[in-house]
Structure 1
C-alpha cells in the first residue's frame, strides 16, 4: 500500500477526529474511506456531466463511472439525466448490453 502525506486545515482535522470517533476507527482508516468515496463520487459526477452533454454514451459513461451499465442506468434515472444520443450511440449501447 502506498503512502502519502498531506497538510489539512485545523477545522478539517477536527472533523476528521470527530468522524473517526463516530466510526470508532483510526484517522488513517477514515481518510482511506473518505478518499475512496470521494474518488467514486468524482468519477460518477464527471460521467454524469459528459453523459448529459452527449459527449459519451451509456456504455462509456458506465466505464467512466466505474460501474456496470445496469448500475449506470440506475444512477442516470436517480439523477434525471437526459441526453441527445444518436441512433449509432443507441446501437452501440444495445450491442454492449447484449454482451452482458
Structure 2
C-alpha cells in the first residue's frame, strides 16, 4: 500500500478535523474514504463525458465508471445524456 502526504491550508485542515469528529474516523481511514469517493465521482464524470462526446460506447462508459450497465443507464438519464447512436449501437448490443 502506498503513502500519500499533502500540505493543506489551515482552513481545510480545520474542516477536516470537524469531519473526523463528526464521522468518528481516524485520519487514515477518512482520507482513504474521501479519496475513494472522489475518484469514483471522477470516473463517473469521465465516463459521462466520453459518452456525451461519442468517443466511447455505452458499455465502455459503464466499465470506466465501475458501474453495472443498469446503474450507469440511470446516471446517464439523470445527466440527460443520450447514448444510443448508430455507430455504437452494434458494439453496445454485443457487449450486453
User: Do the aligned partners of residues 70 and 84 (structure 1) sit closer, same or farther apart at CA in structure 2, a change above 3 Å counting?
Assistant: closer
Q: Contact 1:48 / 1:61 at 8 angstroms: preserved in 2?
A: yes
Aligned length: 96
- In the TM superposition, residue 83 of structure 1 has moved relative to its aligned partner by 4.2
How does 1:1-100 map onto structure 2 within 5 Å? 1-83=1-83, 85-86=85-86, 88-97=87-96
RMSD: 1.4
- What TM-score, normalized by structure 1, do the two folds share? 0.87
Q: Contact 2:58 / 2:83 at 8 angstroms: preserved in 1?
A: no
Gaps of 5+ in 2: none
**Runs of 4+ in structure 1 displaced over 2 angstroms?**
none
Gaps of 5+ in 1: none
- What TM-score, normalized by structure 2, do the two folds share? 0.90
User: Larger deviation: 63-72 or 77-86?
Assistant: 77-86
Q: Give distance in 1, aligned partners of 2:24 and 2:70.
A: 34
